[in-house]
Amino acid sequence: MSVRILTIKEDILGANEEKAKMNRELADQHHILMINITSSPGAGKTSLIMQTIARLKNKARMAVIEGDIASSIDADKVSKEGIPAIQINTAGACHLDANMIRKALDNLDLGQTDLVFIENVGNLICPAEFALGAHKHVLLLSVPEGDDKPRKYPLMFTQADVILINKIDVLPYFDFDMGAFSESVGGLNPAAKVLPISAKTGEGLEQWFSWLEGALDRRK
C-alpha cells in the first residue's frame, strides 16, 4: 500500500474548535472511533500502534494518520502492514490541528474504517492546545522520561482518557516511582486509566487491547 503525504501549514487558531467538532461528526456518521495519541518523541507511539495493528487486524478495520514535522518513516511502517496510512507533514508546526485531520480523513475510505489512530507530533505541550475531534485521548509516557512529567505538563495529563506508561521492561534501570506518578495523575485527572505496558515485550498490553475493544464495541 502506498503512503499519501500531505504537507499542510497550520490553520488559524480560532476556527480550530469548530473544525474539530465537524471531524467528530464526520467520524460519527461512519461509526468510526477516532483516537488521538500523544507523547514526547521516542516514547513509543508507533510501536504501540504496530502492536495494536498486529493484534486487532482481524477484528477492526484500522487506519492511521501520522503527524510529523518531516518524513514518512512512521506511515511507511504502518503501510507495510497493509493498513491505510496518511502522513501529514506539518511544515514545522509542533502539533496537528483539526484542519489537517479533516484533509487526512478526506483521503481515507471512511465507509471501510472502524478505527482511526491519530499519531500526533511528538510533543507534550503544543498538541494539548489543539482539539482534533478525536473521541478518546491516549497519552503515552515512557519510563526513561521520569515520573515528574504530570506536574510539568499538567494540561496534557488532564485531557487523557488513558495514560500508558511504556517501557516498563527498563524499570530496574531508572528511578521511576510508580507511586509518585500515580499520585500526581490522581491529583490532576482521577478518571484517567493508568496502564503500565511494554510495547517491546508485550507486557501489560492485554489491558490496553481490552480497553480499546470495549471502546470500539461502544461505538457500534
Read off φ and ψ for residue 142, nearest 5 degrees: -105, 150
Which residue's CB is nearer to Mg ion, number 128 or number 189? 128
C-alpha cell read off for 175: 528511578
Report in angstroms the alpha-carbon separations of 156 from 30, 51, 92: 28, 24, 21
Residues 26-45 that bind Mg ion (CB under 5 A): 45
| Side-chain-facing half-sphere of 122: CA atoms under 13 Å | 12
C-alpha cell read off for 172: 530496574
User: Does 147 help bind Mg ion (rule: CB under 5 A)?
Assistant: no
In the block, residue with C-alpha cell 499519501: 4
User: Does 161 help bind Mg ion (rule: CB under 5 A)?
Assistant: no
In the block, residue with C-alpha cell 477516532: 34
Which residue's CB is nearer to Mg ion, number 3 or number 24? 3
- Using alpha carbons, select from 157, 17, 8 the residue that is nearest to residue 70: 8
User: Does 19 help bind Mg ion (rule: CB under 5 A)?
Assistant: no
Which residue's CB is nearer to Mg ion, number 42 or number 186? 42
Q: What is the DSSP letter of 9?
A: P
Q: Which residue among 16, 38, 46, 123 contacts Mg ion (CB under 5 A)?
A: 46
Q: How many residues bind Mg ion (CB under 5 A)?
A: 3
Q: Which residue among 37, 44, 51, 74 contacts Mg ion (CB under 5 A)?
A: 74
Which residue's CB is nearer to Mg ion, number 45 or number 102? 45
Which residue's CB is nearer to Mg ion, number 10 or number 74? 74
Residue of minimal Cβ distance to Mg ion: 46
Q: What is the DSSP letter of 38?
A: E
User: Does 120 help bind Mg ion (rule: CB under 5 A)?
Assistant: no
Q: Binding residues for Mg ion, per CB under 5 A?
A: 45-46, 74
